[in-house]
Amino acid sequence: MQQLFRQIGFSEEGRQRHSLYHPITRLHEDVIRFSLLRPEFRLYATAFIPFKLGVFAVTGNQIGLTFADFIHYGDRLTDLYQHECAESAGILDQQGHLQLRANLVDLQIKKGIIAPEAAPEPVRRAAEQVKAYFAGELTQFDLPIAIEQGSEFQASVWDILPQIPYGTTWTYEELAYQLSEKDWATARRMARAVGSACGANPLPLILPCHRVIGKDRRLVGFSGGLDIKEFLLDHEIMRCNTGGSL
């Protein structure tokens, strides 16, 4: 058992000798205390992929991806686990903010990816694919998803997001139309709820809610910030307009 604990990221915290009385053997046995080093927990990990405006942080386990977020350079990480992983990776400054882009150059492991060597396979795959996306080399993700939250309606919205083609946009009403048995009247009534579901998307970029825009074609409602939403759309449109090379 002790070996298993160490393999998955636990560390021996202390040892109390002859402190536990066993009622059957009538002997006092050692008590070993283990603590979990959360960023080193090999069954769960976060990878950070730097890009022009910040880093994309993607978290997952051995089954699939569970959560992702965009963090601007100089900002705090709002997710506690991702904050601990970023601190462990040395990419936070003394105030706990994400370091500026220039300061991350020397920390970019594996040519643009900051991640534990023992990260679960889905997290490593996601990091490589996201890196390829930002390099203009990939237009569609092929990754296992293991979302641990959301209502049935939210899940139905998230499931349809990958159907939006790379480099194009749908309005919230157009997305609702796909869920409403192709009924525009119903779609108009559903549009606000669809927008809320997109805002709650736990895997932005992987499930591309950045391709959903307002009815008047304005950029609205993106968890990573409208500047990043604009950057992602410009990135995709530019790649389409240049025939697949950036």
Complete DSSP assignment for 26-37? TEEEEEEEEEE-
How far is it, in rounded angstroms, from Cα 221 to Cα 228?
A: 11
Residue carrying structure tokens 């968890």: 223
Q: Are residues 47 and 109 in the same domain?
A: yes
Q: Which of 100, 135, 170 is the last residue of a domain?
A: 135
Task: State the pLDDT at residue 29.
Answer: 52
Q: Are residues 100 and 179 in the same domain?
A: no
Which range (7-11, 116-120, 145-149, 239-243) has the least confidence?
Answer: 7-11
Q: Are residues 129 and 164 in the same domain?
A: no
Residue 102 pLDDT class (50, 70, 90 cuts): confident
Cβ distance 222 to 210 under 8 Å?
Answer: yes
Contacts of 195 (CB under 8 A, 6+ apart): 172, 212, 220, 221
Which range (68-72, 113-117, 186-190) has the least confidence?
Answer: 113-117
Q: Are residues 168 and 218 in the same domain?
A: yes
| Catalytic hit among 85, 198, 209, 240 | 209
User: For the chain, how many structural domains are there in total?
Assistant: 2
Q: Are residues 159 and 114 in the same domain?
A: no
To the nearest whole number, what is the mean pLDDT of the chain?
Answer: 84
Cβ distance 71 to 83 under 8 Å?
Answer: no
Q: Are residues 118 and 176 in the same domain?
A: no
How far is it, in rounded angstroms, from Cα 224 to Cα 227?
A: 8
Q: Are residues 120 and 158 in the same domain?
A: no
Task: State the pLDDT at residue 11.
Answer: 54
Which parts of the chain fold into alpha helices (H)?
A: 2-7, 80-89, 101-104, 121-134, 152-160, 172-179, 184-199, 226-241
Greater model confidence, 118 or 38: 118
Q: Is residue 219 part of a domain?
A: yes
Task: State the pLDDT at residue 192.
Answer: 94
- State yes or no: is 240 an active-site residue: no
Percentage of residues of the chain with pLDDT beyond 70: 78
Taking residue 11's Cβ as centre, other Cβ atoms within 10 Å add up to 11
- Give the range of the structural domain holding residue 205, as residue numbers without chain letter: 152-242
Q: Is the pLDDT of residue 229 over 90?
A: yes
Residue 245 pLDDT class (50, 70, 90 cuts): very low
Distances (CA, A) of 200 to 28, 71, 204: 53, 16, 9
Q: Are residues 217 and 131 in the same domain?
A: no
Q: Are residues 104 and 179 in the same domain?
A: no
Distances (CA, A) of 220 to 3, 63, 132, 198, 227: 50, 32, 26, 11, 10
Q: Is residue 23 part of a domain?
A: no
Q: Which of 104, 135, 166 is the last residue of a domain?
A: 135
Q: Is residue 184 part of a domain?
A: yes
Q: Which of 105, 135, 165 is the last residue of a domain?
A: 135
Which range (21-25, 181-185, 202-206, 218-222) has the least confidence?
Answer: 21-25
- Residues belonging to the chain: 246
Find how far residue 34's CA is from the centre of its chain.
28
Cβ distance 72 to 98 under 8 Å?
Answer: yes
The CATH number of whichever domain residue 183 belongs to comes to: 1.10.10.10
Q: Is residue 175 part of a domain?
A: yes
Q: Is the pLDDT of residue 10 over 70?
A: no
